[in-house]
Structure formats: C-alpha cells, structure tokens
Structure 1
C-alpha cells in the first residue's frame, strides 16, 4: 500500500508552456511523458462510491494495472489517500487481488465483484518531472485530456505535485514558487468525482447555506477550532467550484460566508495560537474579503432590477432608474475578472498558506503550559466568554443606543454580521429553542438593515434625474425608509430585552 500525499491544481491551458521554464532551476532526476487511458468501475448502486473508494484500470504502453483509492483526508487542495495497485493481464477488475484487510468488516466483496461495470473513462497525456529538492523527491504530473461518460466530455487541465519521499513542507514550498506565475487553482475535486458527475451518477455541487458545526460541551478548544476552520474551508471551496460551474451571484455570497467563518474562527481562537499564525496568508485573507466587498452592492442591484424593476413599480420614473441601475451592474466585476481572481497568484498563495497551516497543526509548538492547557480545555467556557464579549460589544455599539437613523443602522451591518457569526460558531452547544428565540430578532434586524441599505443605489441616482422624477423618488424613498426604520426600532427594542441564552 502507498499513501498518496499530493497537491492538486486545476490549471489554465497556457500553464503547460510555462512550466518547463519554471522547472529549469531545479534538479530534474527524470522527465518523460505518457499517454494514460483509465476506465473507472463501480456497481449500479455505487457501492464503492458510498465507501468513498475509487476503482480504475489504467492502460499504459500495453500494460494494465488496477488501482483502488480508499477514503482519506483532504485539506484544501492537499489529498492523502491509501492506494493499492495490482498488475492485470486482462481489462477486467478483480477485487480478490487486493488485500482482504482493506475492506470494511462484513462487506460482501464477491457480490460487489459480480456487479462491477464500467462507468466513465479519462484519457490524457501526462508530462512528468521528478525533482530532487534538499533530499526530498517530488513528482510533478501535468495532465491534459478529457473525462468521458457516454457522449459527454469535459476537458482535463490539471497539475499534481506528489511527495515521493522526504519533507512535505518542500511540497508546499515548490507549489508556492509555481503559483507565482498565475494560472493555478487548488482543486478539491478529483478526476473520479468529475467522472461520476459527468455520468450523472453524482450530483453536481448544490448551493447550501452555512450550518452550525456539530458540537458537544466536552469538545476541546483545539478540536473545535480545527473543525470550524475545516468547515469554513470546505464551504468556501464547495461554492468556488459551484460558481465556476454555474456563475451566479448566490454562489459567491456563500463562498464569502465560508471565508468569513475561517476569519472569525481565527479571531475567536487567536489568543491561543496567534503567535504561530503565518501573517502572510492572514493578510491575503483580509485582501480576499476586500476583493469580495462589492457583493452587497451586487445583491442590491439584482433585487432592484429583477423583473424589469418590479420593486420600483409604483414609480413613474422606473424605466429611467432601471436603466441607470443596469449601467451600475455592468461596472461590477464580471465572470472573466472573477476567474482571473480565482487563478491569481495571491489567491493560490492564500489557499496554500491556510492548507499548509492546517496540515502541520504547528500551533502546538512553542506554547506555554497555560496555553497548552487552554487548547485542551472544554470549549464550553471559551464559548461563553466569546459570546459575552460579542454581546458586550454589540450592546455598547450604536445598536444599543435609544434611537438610530438609517445611516447609523447601515454602518452597523458588518458588526452585526460578525456578532451573528460568533453565535453560529458555538450554536450547537446550546438548546435550539433558547438559542433561536434570542437569535431570530437579530437576524430579522440584519435583514431589515439590508433592506434599508438596498435603497442606497437609488439615493445615488437622485441627482441624475429631472426635478419632477427626483421629487417623486424622494417621496418614495422617505416612505420606504420610514416604514423600515419603524420596524427596525420595534425589533431592536424587543431584542435588547432578551436574556442571553449562553449564561
């Protein structure tokens, strides 16, 4: 058995041409290229897929080999999976050739064997380089070809960096050098998963809301921190893949939620591990949030222009407003610019930095005894402290004042979002009824603030209208603002009277 440790990148087609030049400064032990044809097998009810196992036969230069990859670990684009390889003389898989110990207890291997059938294939040219770096050997494999399922095809442009032997940190250092040229994006989806999706045997990525992490009061701080970071990163990458397959705004909004969870988790646990965090990728994390800051504006414009401006239906100047709002939409980042972002050197550096930090888990190194004890302590006490701190900050912000105007409410939107994210991080530690009784009014207030802020693009257009249309818009905006402010003030007065559920 081998355990693969590899970084997977999806790459722009032009990366192949620049890669040879980038590798000239390294010691190349071996270089070749080969044509690989792979057929993937499973049962009709996907028995292997349900085990998170992948079975293939690879044909190369007239020789055949069957491989099974079992469930492993994935952090960002770093994949670790047990792999078993057996040579074949016929193009038909034989599960009995694999060690019996690899199968779950009670699994009817013979029954699965009898039901195996080919599902899809991959066909690609692989260019390989075996590099030696300070005693570490790393294989680079650039694959270009296609996945095929029936009549359906999808291109393959991937780069894999696999640790052959030595220090895994060298794998990341090499990757950091390669991404400087751009065109590389850490990939969380394997060729096999893409094949299942293409064959219609596995669902395409689905848009999903960020849900609370399953927690128990006895879970320790370190365990909770790592689980929250993994959850945020998975949510982020899932919606990145979803957006690339279906470029709609909702996917980007949820991608931002995953990024926000990662950032908020680092803030919540920062006192325990901050001295071990690489500040470079933390800066990149803040940069990415800034790169996505236009999403609120985009959501407003989508709502205001939907159904030819149905939201503005009572205004005689609706057509003029919609035309100007659409012009604003056209100025926002488009799909091409976003793809450039996701394949940019800084974005790749961020993903590599976070992935490496999670893989090493080196926040433990150099900790004082008191910090080590805090990391090993049950998370319930830390949760209470953080929720208290967050509540204190909210109560002493403008949201705790006797009365607010529209501009003041809008200024508090980010603060309230962060407060609610803190609550989400520790939600499962508390009874749902008590928790939601407290959170729902604040969630309603956030929605109210977002509705109030949605009027902002219209305020920006007032000076571009004639006098009559401007007066009509002013009157309409005043009514909307008055109604929203009254509702917000009532909700806030009630929310401030609620007793915290975590005490």
Structure 2
C-alpha cells in the first residue's frame, strides 16, 4: 500500500502594502493632471476568474482565490487578509499553465487546509474584466506603483462598474505611500476603500448581499507590543466605518447606518483605551472629526429606532387609524430628510479626508515615534491593558450603585461607561490567552446584558426627545398621537429599570477575566 503524501506546509506569503480609492469620473478627470498619473503609462487588459466552493467556504475562511489572464500568461493568486482594515495582506502568487486553479500549487497555501484537501470542489464564481494602466511614482528611495483600473465585475447576470485607483508600495517606507495618497487627495477627494474586487464580486454573487459589516475580532495576542495592538484595534474599527459607509451610499440601509456609528464609537473607544500612547494634537483633531460625523448620523438613527420600536408596533396593533397613518407619513418624510443629511456627510470630501488622515495617523503618525512614550508603546499589551481595564471596571461599579435613583441623562452616562468597558474588554480580551476564555465570555456577556438593558431605557428617553421635535415641527394632533405612543412605552420603564438593576448585580458578581487565576 502506498504511503499517503504528507500535507505540504504553506509557503511563506509575500506581503503587499497598498491603499485603494473609489473614483468618480469627475475625480479621475481632476487626478489626470497630477504628476503621478501623467504620461501614457503601461496599459494591460486583465481578466480574472474567482473560484470558490458552491457554499463559499473560502470566503468564510477569509481567503480568496483567483486566476488572472495577462498578456504574459496566467497568474494564480491566493489572498488572506491579515486583519480587518490592514493596508497589508498575505498573498501567495505563482504562474500557472491555464485558466483553472493549479492544484499542486494550492497545496502550498491555506486553501488546501480550508478545503481539507478537497480541491475538486472549487468552481468559478464571478469574474472581473479591467484595463489596468500602471505608472510608477518615485521620490528619494521610495517607489509606489500607481494603478488605475477601469472595467466591470460580472457575476451571472449581475454586473457592476469598476473605477479604482490603487497605490502599492514597492520600495521604501509606508510614510511615502501615505504622503503620495494625501497629495492626491488634495487634488481630488476620493474615499479610501477596504473593499477588494473580490469583496464586491462576492456581494454580487449573493454571498454578502447588502448586509452591514459588524465588528470583527482585532486579534490582539499575548506579548504583542501595545503600539501594534492599537494599530490592530483602530484598523478594525476604521474598516468597519469605511465598509458601512460604502454600503450606505449604495443603498439606504438602517443596519449599515447603525454599524457605521458603532465603528465610529469603537474608533473613539480605541483612542480612549490607548490614550497614554496617543500624544499630539492630531489625535484630538481626528477624534473631533469622528464626533462631527456621528452628529450627522444621529437624527436618522433616532428616527429609525422610533419608527421600529415605538411606531410600527402601534401601527400593527391599531390598524387603519387615520391619525397614526398621518403620523407615519410625517415620520417617514422626516426620516428621508435625516438620511439625506447622513448620506451627504458620508459622500463628502470631509469624510474622505477623515478616512485617509485616520489611516495615515494609525500607521505612521507622530505618536509612534515620540521618545516620551516609547516604553509604553513597547510594553506587552497584557501589562498595558490590565490597569486600564481595572480602572474602568471600578468606575462603572461605583456609578451603578444608585441606578434606581438616576435620571435619564445620568443613566445614559452610565450606559456610556458600560460601553467603554465592553469595547476595552473586547479589544484586550485575547491578550490574556486561552485559559481565561470562559471568564472573558462571561464577563463580556454580563456587560452586554447590562448595556442592553440601559439601552432600552435610553430608547424611551430618545422617543421622548423625538416627540418634543414633533411638537416643534408638526401639528398638535400628530404631536399628541406621538406622545400617546411614548406614554405606552413608558409603562415598561419600571420593569426595564428592575431588569437593569438585576443585570448590574450579575455583573458585579462576575469575576474580571484579566485578574490572575487563583492558585
């Protein structure tokens, strides 16, 4: 009997460091005059076919596989995103003989492990057909490949145009890459995108649909330097923000709006959790810009919540009530105007600058070179995080003692404290290894239940504010009807407060996961 062949160890990936921007025809016209895009360039047609199993197993494992036809032949590429929001990715690339995957080479990549060796399950899923015009920008010892892609993505009967600018660092330091990107942005604002052509193709193929992007694990591990842990956390939050903004521009999606706001809150929470490292005025400026964007989104989100949690249940219960129908029409119109404001913000030059400036600051900001904080930047993340988690936990426990006697504004502040501790626990949780994983899940779960209970109480307070706006901006009849709805919800307030107190008591009994294990 023949001995089974050993499973090959995946070859080392080649990292790529790149930035990508989604262009409009107007932005492309403006950029044509920039030195980095002047001149004829080298144009080549690239047709790529992406492969996966019928149930999209590679996608679920964070992998993509394509075979690209070029003038010189075929190139097979496997990519694995090393972490959400990263500007570098793991990549395995080899020449191959034809338009189908090379099984022997795939065994040297994570694809073989993901499919448990069953490479015959791979089928073509979608294709991209683009003309890529490539130029090279050089300054000092830096070389950046500047690629303009124009074409389309095709998935069955669905298609979508491609107009993208990619900057890939070929030589030199990342500072040069961001310097060029920011110079281009001064010529024509274009939003930074973390969505690859593969991401877009899978969406067209029906894998992701228009679902909002929720927060992913930052992947912080024990022993990681605090500075790199911050980068991982902040990239993750920025990627969530960018992805949901792209979804929102394509389609008015309440969940994308909500997750966009979550991404912004997580970004601000990262600034707060790592504050000792983040010296300089730029951190405060970028934090203020995230607050500006959140303020442009808040009204749309408040109306979404009011309609979903207060108005729709009453509408279903009351049926063809004329006053409710009139109120619903008014609310829908107000919601439309609020979404116009939100969309104008995420489709603005200001937001495009915010994304790029934040990405640059995360990767190469002055905070990462300040001699005064070098010791803290290099500290193991578990040592850096422990006193900060403990301080937030003590603050929350103290603030929650008089929960029953707090007014709505104070309960909202308490909810913010719970949210900050939860985000910090999620950021730092994996830094303490696998042994306290059960305690980590229990602690974060208890925090979430407490936060959710406070959130329901806050929704009632927001509904009251929405009713106050109705009084100012609509007739008395509609304002009275909205007031009745809020009054009906307010009857649940005592029960919700009791549940919040029970959740707080359970949280106090839950042992923090960052404490050393008992001997």
TM over 0.5: yes
Aligned residue for 1:422?
Answer: 421
Q: Distance in 1 between matches of 2:264 and 2:129?
A: 35
Counting only pairs closer than 5 Å after superposition, residues 214-363 of structure 1 correspond to structure 2 as 221-222=226-227, 224-275=229-280, 278-303=283-308, 304-306=310-312, 309-310=315-316, 317-334=323-340, 338-360=342-364, 363=367
Aligned residue for 1:56?
Answer: 67
Structure 1 pair 500–218 and aligned structure 2 pair: CA distance change class (3 A):
farther
Q: Distance in 1 between matches of 2:355 and 2:337?
A: 28
Cα drift, residue 211 of structure 1: 7.3
Cα drift, residue 182 of structure 1: 4.6
Counting only pairs closer than 5 Å after superposition, residues 23-172 of structure 1 correspond to structure 2 as 23-24=34-35, 31-42=40-51, 44=53, 52-60=63-71, 63-73=72-82, 76=85, 78-82=87-91, 84-86=93-95, 91-93=98-100, 95=102, 102-103=108-109, 118-172=124-178
Q: Which structure has the larger Rg over C-alpha atoms?
A: 1
Cα drift, residue 248 of structure 1: 1.3
**Deviation per CA, 1:27-71, whole angstroms, max 9, x where unpaired?**
96x6325241313253646686657243323233xx423242433
* TM-score, normalising length: structure 1: 0.78
Is the 1:75–1:358 Cα contact (8 Å) retained in structure 2? no
Counting only pairs closer than 5 Å after superposition, residues 486-497 of structure 1 correspond to structure 2 as 486-491=494-499
Q: Distance in 2 between matches of 1:385 and 1:315?
A: 52
The DSSP-based 3-state class of the residue aligned with 1:8 is strand
Q: Distance in 1 between matches of 2:445 and 2:93?
A: 48
Aligned residue for 1:450?
Answer: 459
Q: Distance in 1 between matches of 2:294 and 2:311?
A: 25
Q: Distance in 1 between matches of 2:444 and 2:170?
A: 49
Counting only pairs closer than 5 Å after superposition, residues 336-485 of structure 1 correspond to structure 2 as 338-360=342-364, 363-365=367-369, 366-368=371-373, 371-372=376-377, 376-378=381-383, 379-392=385-398, 394-395=399-400, 400=402, 403-404=405-406, 408-410=407-409, 412-413=411-412, 416-426=415-425, 428=429, 430=439, 432-433=441-442, 436-437=445-446, 440-462=449-471, 480-481=489-490, 483-485=491-493
Is the 1:68–1:83 Cα contact (8 Å) retained in structure 2? yes
RMSD, matched Cα: 4.2
Structure 1 pair 260–319 and aligned structure 2 pair: CA distance change class (3 A):
same
Is the 1:67–1:86 Cα contact (8 Å) retained in structure 2? yes
Cα drift, residue 422 of structure 1: 1.7
Aligned pair count reads 483
* TM-score, normalising length: structure 2: 0.76
Structure 1 pair 137–74 and aligned structure 2 pair: CA distance change class (3 A):
farther
Q: Distance in 2 between matches of 1:458 and 1:271?
A: 42
Structure 1 pair 276–76 and aligned structure 2 pair: CA distance change class (3 A):
farther
Structure 1 pair 216–79 and aligned structure 2 pair: CA distance change class (3 A):
closer
Cα drift, residue 310 of structure 1: 4.1
Q: Distance in 2 between matches of 1:79 and 1:391?
A: 40
Structure 1 pair 97–31 and aligned structure 2 pair: CA distance change class (3 A):
farther
Cα drift, residue 433 of structure 1: 4.5
Q: Distance in 2 between matches of 1:473 and 1:243?
A: 28
Is the 2:227–2:378 Cα contact (8 Å) retained in structure 1? no
**Deviation per CA, 1:173-200, whole angstroms, max 9, x where unpaired?**
1211222355512222222333344345
Q: Distance in 2 between matches of 1:326 and 1:161?
A: 42
